[in-house]
Amino acid sequence: MIGLLPVDKPEGPTSHDIVARARRATGVRRIGHTGTLDPFASGLLLLCIGPATRLAEYLHPLPKTYVGVARLGQATDTDDRTGDVVGRSEAWRELDETAVRAAFTDQQGERMQVPPAYSAKKVDGQRLYRRARRGETVVAEAAPVEIHRLVVRRLALPDVEFEVECSTGTYIRAIARDAGAQLGVGAHLTELRRTRIGPFDAASALDPERLDREHVLQALVPPLAALAHVPRVDVDGDDARRIRNGGTVARPGVLGLLVVAHAGALVAVAEGDGQRVHPRKVFHDA
């Protein structure tokens, strides 16, 4: 069993809980995922099954789309509803809707974003959330992120529903936090759902309640299809064998990361240098 399994994670379980369910359902121990969802969040989780775990690094950079709800007037130490309230303000009642929308949409584009205090970001080799739980005050350095699109979908103050498409590494909790700070009232995230990762949609993902071997086999995306966003080169049988044995093949003009395919199956993830294609990771049963 090898491939990519899109799962629609409900609120409550951790991403690791979903991986554990998939292991029990399939009997496959080698299962990973391409990006964690917090327990209070729901939505699309991409599981890599079997040898497809080697593809995770090529799926991780795909842009992600979320729908979130921010509540103005309350700041929490985690920047979401799971934390303790550390600030309150009733000034949200006096806010102009145009200013509220701008506090969110102004965050579009390339920007530096400070990770939440309770996050998996590492500072001095330790996860921030571990240090925060010990009572340490540690502020992570701002990191570059790109928010490709941010739309306010609904205003029902103090709640603001918004949709965002962003680069990997973007914290949606931080978007809510920063909007609240700009408005001077504080804010935290109360709801979060990941609806897309690249071409994969939560609407067509597998319900974890149907996470059994039969439904997994039906929903499994073959490795070659999972890498449809990567440029592709098709080779004949002889070249496929050569590449799977670690050899190179001539392909003038081919540059950069690519996938090599033969007869509709993944042969390798490779690199083109303009003259030849060099395998980076080869697959024998994909």
Q: Is the peptide bond before 158 cis (omega within 30 degrees of 0)?
A: yes
Amino acid symbol at 259:
V
Active site residues: 38
Q: What is the 3-state secondary structure (H, E, C) of 232-266?
A: EEECCHHHHHHHHCCCCEECCCCEEEEEEEECCEE
Residues near 75 by beta carbon (within 8 Å), at least 6 away in sequence? 85, 86, 87, 88, 177, 180, 186, 187, 188
Q: Rounded CA gap, 69 and 54, in Å?
A: 34
Q: Are strands 143-156 and 159-166 parallel, antiparallel or unpaired?
A: antiparallel
Q: Rounded CA gap, 274 and 52, in Å?
A: 27
